[in-house]
Amino acid sequence: MSAPALKLSQVERHYRQGDTRLDILCGADVALWPGEAVALVGPSGAGKSTLLHVAGLLEKPDSGEIFIEGTKTAYMSDDARTALRRMTIGFVYQFHHLLPEFSAEENVILPQLIRGLGRGEAQRRAGELLDYLGLLPRRTHRPAELSGGEQQRVAIARAVANAPRILLADEPTGNLDPHTAEHVFDAMMALVRATRLGALVATHNMDLAARMDRRVTLRDGKVVELS
């Protein structure tokens, strides 16, 4: 079998707060396979965002190893980690963080240009993704002219614009009403399945968590499988 899209092995992350040490991740192990969606659930403050940041190479663990498609990352230079992150990992957050002065289409084109793709190719891919997510008629709209659900679907299109292998989502539907949340979730899951992304999705929505392949939580800094 091929390597997991993402694997965390014995990851430690502690924060200092004055004289005390907050132990957030204490030997966290988790693997994410291509095409698999895993829900990360648990109360606020449990360390879900920390786990996603560390998994996404945005924050270095204090110890432990993060493998991206089997490649070790702990001893990489910052530049190499950034390049690997840009190529292999897409992020979606609770708030869309789209660039307000750019259209939906431009928001999906920009990360591809940053990666070095030509404008024509980037535009073609943005069109395909926006079409897939049912947003083609909205492609020239700016974020402020889109509904909350449309904004999040554009954010998902942007996250996968560079064809990552891993999608890390932090409460991607947390700001939406239940009906819209379901619609956005369905769109995200369809993309995960179609492109065989490994997706780790922090959510408080237990209905959506139940529709993913597995559910994990953080207990005493370790990743624990829920049945």
| Nearest CB to ligand ADP, comparing residues 22 and 83 | 22
Least distance in angstroms from the C-beta of 188 to ligand ADP: 19
Least distance in angstroms from the C-beta of 52 to ligand ADP: 8
Q: Got the DSSP string for the chain? A: ----SEEEEEEEEEEEETTEEEEEEEEEEEEE-TT-EEEEE--TTSSHHHHHHHHTTSS--SEEEEEETTEE-TTS-HHHHHHHHHHHEEEE-SS----TTS-HHHHHHHHHHHHT--HHHHHHHHHHHHHHTT-GGGTT--GGGS-HHHHHHHHHHHHTTT--SEEEEESTTTTS-HHHHHHHHHHHHHHHHHHT-EEEEE-S-HHHHHTSSEEEEEETTEEEEE-
- The site for ligand ADP (CB under 6 A) is made up of 15, 17, 22, 24, 42, 44-50
Least distance in angstroms from the C-beta of 222 to ligand ADP: 14
148-159 vs 119-132: helix crossing angle, rounded to 10:
130
| Nearest CB to ligand ADP, comparing residues 49 and 123 | 49
| Nearest CB to ligand ADP, comparing residues 48 and 153 | 48
Interior CA angle at 192 toward 8 and 181, to 5°?
A: 105
Least distance in angstroms from the C-beta of 169 to ligand ADP: 12
| Nearest CB to ligand ADP, comparing residues 88 and 94 | 94
| Nearest CB to ligand ADP, comparing residues 119 and 219 | 219
Least distance in angstroms from the C-beta of 171 to ligand ADP: 8
| Nearest CB to ligand ADP, comparing residues 50 and 112 | 50
216, 29 Cβ separation under 8 angstroms: no
Least distance in angstroms from the C-beta of 215 to ligand ADP: 15
